[in-house]
């Protein structure tokens, strides 16, 4: 394996790029902003993003958050959360809150998490994968007469996947449920991630902490490493959220 050595200026450039990518996300349409455009983007978007952040989770209503959605988490439509609409100047009052996919040609009307076992998506009862089903609400199968995606998969929480739902909520709504909200961060499409422990499935976080308050405190402490000012070169260049 070839070893690559970078000097301090190169490391800073890598750090700056990853900070840019985490802030801008997909909003530059694949073409880097100029420094002036980048500053204007931050001036306009970051205040409303930090004010109107949306938290996205997958779980049984009234139960634990079995999966907290991050920018790289795939939707049923096969596109990632960061490829959906996640920023609003004013959060719509309607619930459920729809986050349509912004990839050209995709008909996904809102982000909908498709459960996975490791890196593999679960199968429908018809034996086909989510990608074999329509991204349109109802999710009829393209390969057979199956009228919708229904998986026999049982989540680690003990409930069938059919009992779960994808929940999009505001900071106030999440606080009202007694869930951790982390700190305000400028990064795009953070979804439900509030700290490193958010990357674990919900039932695993129950095993790693003795109480709900302990888990919340842990999320709050760990999330402090995710701000732009405090993110070190090493962390920004080596940590990828999924």
Q: For 165-216, how does the pLDDT look when each residue is reduced to its tens digit (9 = 90+)?
A: 999 999 999 999 999 999 999 999 999 999 998 999 988 876 544 444 444 4
**Domain boundary assignment for the chain:** 22-115+153-236
Please name which of 96, 98, 107 lies closest in space to residue 140, comparing C-alpha atoms. 107
Q: Is the pTM of this model over 0.85?
A: no
- At 182, list the tokens: 């982390």
Q: For 24-38, how does the pLDDT look when each residue is reduced to its tens digit (9 = 90+)?
A: 999 999 999 999 999
Reply yes or no on whether the pLDDT at 241 is more than 90.
no
Calculate mean pLDDT across residues 4-18. Answer: 92
- CA gyration radius, the chain: 19
Q: How many CB atoms lie within 10 A of CB 51?
A: 14
Q: For 96-127, how does the pLDDT look when each residue is reduced to its tens digit (9 = 90+)?
A: 999 999 999 999 999 999 999 988 999 999 99
H helical segments located in the chain: 8-24, 35-51, 171-176, 202-208, 212-223, 233-238
């Amino acid at each position: 394996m070839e070893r690559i050595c970078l000097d301090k200026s190169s490391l800073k450039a890598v750090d700056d790029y990853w900070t840019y990518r985490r802030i801008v996300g997909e909003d530059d349409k694949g073409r880097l902003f100029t420094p002036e455009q980048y500053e204007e983007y931050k001036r306009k978007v970051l205040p409303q993003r930090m004010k109107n952040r949306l938290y996205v989770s997958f779980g049984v209503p009234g139960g634990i958050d079995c999966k907290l959605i991050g920018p790289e988490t795939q939707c049923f439509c096969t596109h990632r959360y960061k490829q959906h609409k996640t920023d609003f100047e004013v959060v719509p009052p309607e619930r459920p809150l729809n986050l349509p996919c912004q990839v050209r040609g995709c008909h996904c009307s809102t982000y909908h998490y498709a459960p996975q076992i490791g890196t593999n998506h679960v199968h429908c009862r018809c034996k086909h994968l989510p990608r074999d089903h329509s991204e349109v609400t109802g999710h009829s199968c393209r390969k057979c007469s199956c009228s919708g995606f229904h998986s026999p998969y049982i989540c680690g929480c003990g409930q069938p996947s059919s009992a779960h739902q994808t929940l999009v909520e505001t900071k106030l709504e999440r606080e009202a449920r007694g869930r951790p909200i982390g700190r305000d961060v400028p990064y795009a499409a953070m979804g439900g991630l509030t700290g490193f422990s958010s990357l674990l499935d919900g039932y695993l976080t129950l095993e790693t902490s003795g109480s709900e308050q302990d888990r919340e405190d842990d999320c709050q402490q760990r999330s402090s490493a995710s701000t732009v000012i405090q993110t070190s070169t090493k962390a920004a260049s080596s940590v990828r959220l999924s």
